Structure 1
Amino acid sequence: MRILVIHTGGTIGMAQTDQGFAPKDGVIEEALDQIRSNHTDLGTIRLMPLTPAIDSGEATTAEWNRIAMAVFTELGNYDAFVITHGTDSLSYSAAAMVMALRGIDVPVILTGSMIPLTVENSDGMRNLTDALIACRSAQPGVWVQFAGRLLHGSRVYKAHSSDLDAFTDSPSEMPPLFASPFPTIAQTSPHKVLTFTIAPGAMFGLLKTAVQQGEALVLRCYGSGTAPNDPELRDALSLAAKRNVPVVAVSQCPAGGMNIGTYQAGQILRDGGVIDGRGMTAEMAHVKLHYALETDDPHAFMATEFCGEM
């Protein structure tokens, strides 16, 4: 089986320095040399710049485009892809790969580690080995392999900041694959996508300023879709509607999702034309808005389920 490993940086490829952990050249390659005997047809790519490799906390839409293009240009040469990635923004990149790599007929598996490969008792070797093994049985689409589990790329999120079992997902009957009659790639620009969390006493006047300056908004709501009947929130949502700024509501709860019509306290969202994100994670909502803004009808794009994200 032909597998291409694309190294993008992150903790898995770091080593200790005087300033703390930092990317080190050759770490991933040395690990792959140790397990290459079971995966003889194994290619590697390190995305430029080589030194330092990107820290996932610094990832932008440009990195999404680079990683997706690295996969897309090699589709005919490999049967599966493994992407090593930092954990801080891994769930965002997984969502972006689902949105970007459409109609692919191979598995694309992201992985990383909480402890560098260069440190004793690292989880990196296990995760990397498991990702390579998963390539043999995973369905086409984008997945995350972490701590012994293969997770849905459209539904995955980081649930713990330090545990080795840091990621989880929510179930979906749809595979993490954006359907297309033939493989194609979608790319995105660095749009002004903002996130606002509703909280007691939240400064909704700032939300109106954000709507004036932004292109799209993720609104993190209480429970299954409630929000205070605040005049400044109402003004902000009204302005968003006038400016054709898509506003997507997602739940602050890690499970259960949204249903804006459940409570009367969600009326302000319905009146404001807010898009019901249903079961979307905040990470997917943020990413999907970037790709929605590349379409002729961002509102319709956001309201449509493509890959189990909702």
Structure 2
Amino acid sequence: MNPTQKLLVLYTGGTIGMQMSEAGLAPASGFEARLRAEQAAHPERPVPAWRFGELLPPLDSANMTQANWLAMRDAIVHAVDEDGCDAVLLLHGTDTLAYSAAALSFLLLGLNVPVVLTGSMQPAGVAGSDAWPNLFGALALLAHGVAPGVHLYFNGQLLHGACASKLKSEAFDAFADHQRPRHGRHLNELPAALHYRQPRQPVRLAVQPLFPGLAAEQLRALLSSDVQGVLLECYGSGTGPSDNPAILAALSEAHARGVVLAAISQCPQGHVEFGVYAAGSALAATGLVSGAGMGREAALGKLFSLLGAGLSQAEVERLFALDLCGELAE
């Protein structure tokens, strides 16, 4: 963990840089000048040498898309490989911060520098805001040295980028490790297709929670909507309506067409273990692959990275079940 010598601060928008408009708080440019003024006002804070980059237009993170994930990945790769940066601090809105951290965890496999994401619950400049503490807290960590990989820093905590979730909508301690069981076999060697220098493509993904009363017609409509992968949020240890043959048939038919079907638990601290109940075994028999203890953010980001690399259905399923960056094994 070497001290950062050349840092890219990459601004994407979010609450941290928002300013008041007629319609309420809105993303705004001009954050570099505000950051430099705040740094100059507090020269005692440890800060590595940094340069500023901005993805335009600045976004409310509620509007983040896969295209934005790819743009962030491209900017980070260029900063490291072309400009010689040895770390990146990415400023991002909180609504989808954990999703972007998870996606980048899998888009940047093999990158040997730290990438830290942070944001704030209140804008910079507001009295009592968490914006400057979060930003300069992350800068201080980078000045001392952070391990390579993707991290999320918030309210004094440095979290694994693929294992964090937003749990609160207003409090400053909004993010935490989701504390799901992480037991998985680690990938021995990174396939060339998953290396961070390999570009990715947008992917048609969907998330479907199971709930009492879910109709087979509803599920079939989703599975027939030209999706490449579906993340099924199951009950408990990976169970679902196993006595509904129409639902099981819809899943089996979609899998036969090449749709990747992945399963996670709806329980905040749960994990999928299909064989515990017969209901879970019935779902697994349709072609579902277990997401073990991954949260929604990690599972979705992992599917995006694997499918976006152009891998086959079988290879996506094989790699999805393996630990790629610490999302399944501590």
Query: Fold conserved (TM > 0.5)?
Result: yes
8 Å CA contact retained: 1:208, 1:232: no
SS in 2 for 1:145: strand
Distance between the aligned counterparts of 1:166 and 1:79, measured in 2? 28
Distance in 2 between residues matched to 1:166 and 1:290, nearest whole Å: 25
Aligned to 1:185: 197
1:201 aligns with 2:194: no
Deviates more, 1:180-189 or 1:26-35: 180-189
1:261-272 correspondence to structure 2 within 5 Å? 261-272=275-286
Q: Residue deviations 1:107-166, cap 9 Å, x none?
A: 100000011113221111010011111223321000000011000001111111111111
Q: What are the Cα deviations for residues 62-118 of structure 1, in whole angstroms up to 9, with x where unaligned? A: 111111111111115222110000111111111111111121121100000011113
Question: Could you say which residue in structure 2 is the equivalent of 1:137?
Answer: 145
Q: Is residue 2:224 matched to residue 1:212?
A: yes
Q: What SS is found at the alignment partner of 2:274?
A: coil
Closer/same/farther in 2, CA of residues 40 and 255 from structure 1, 3 Å limit: closer
Q: Give 1:8's aligned amino acid.
A: T
Larger displacement relative to structure 2 (142-151 or 209-218)? 209-218
Q: TM-score normalized by structure 2?
A: 0.86
Aligned to 2:78: 73
Alignment partner for residue 268 of structure 2, among 254, 261, 282?
Answer: 254
Partner residue of 1:157 out of 165, 179, 182 = 165
- Counterpart of 1:128, as a letter, is L
Distance 1:204 1:194 in 2: 16
| Cα distance in 2 between the residues matched to 1:162 and 1:215 | 35
CA contact (8 A) 1:179 1:306 kept: no
- Relative to 1, partners in 2 of residues 1:178 and 1:162: Cα closer, same or farther, differing over 3 Å? farther
Q: Which residue of 2 is the match for residue 309 of structure 1?
A: 327
Is the 2:103–2:300 contact (alpha carbons within 8 Å) kept by the matching residues of 1? no
Q: For residue 289 of structure 1, what is the aligned residue in structure 2?
A: 303
The change in CA–CA distance for 1:169 and 1:29 in structure 2 (over 3 A counts) is farther
Q: Relative to structure 1, is the Cα distance of residues 240 and 232 closer, same or farther in structure 2, using a 3 angstrom cutoff?
A: same
Instruction: Please list every run of 5 or more consecutive structure 2 residues that lacks an aligned counterpart in the other structure.
Output: none
Q: Check whether the contact 1:98–1:141 (CA below 8 A) recurs between aligned residues.
A: yes
The 3 A distance-change label for structure 1 pair 118 and 262 is same
What is the aligned counterpart of 2:35 among 23, 31, 35? 31
Counterpart of 1:93 in structure 2 is: 100
In 2: Cα distance, 1:180 partner to 1:226 partner: 32
How many angstroms does 1:40 deviate by? 5.4
On the 8 A contact 1:208/1:235 being kept in 2, the answer is: no
SS at match of 1:125: helix
Q: Tell me if structure 2 keeps the 8 A contact 1:103–1:179.
A: no
Q: CA offsets, 1:245-296, max 9 Å, x none?
A: 1111001111132211112221221211210100111111112112221213
Q: CA deviation at 1:178?
A: 11
Q: Aligned partners of 2:25 and 2:146: how far apart in 1?
A: 32
CA pair 139-127 structure 1, distance change in 2 beyond 3 A: same
Counterpart in the other structure of 1:275: 289
State the one-letter code of the partner of 1:275.
V
Between the two structures, name the one with larger relative contact order (CA 8 Å, sep ≥ 6).
Answer: 2
What TM-score do the two structures reach when normalised by structure 1? 0.92
| Distance of 2:149 and 2:8 partners within structure 1 | 15
Identity, % of aligned positions: 36
- Which sections of structure 1, spanning at least 5 residues, go unmatched? none
Q: Runs (4+) of structure 1 moved beyond 6 Å?
A: none
CA deviation profile, 1:178-210 (whole Å, cap 9, x unmatched):
975997334332221111111111123211121
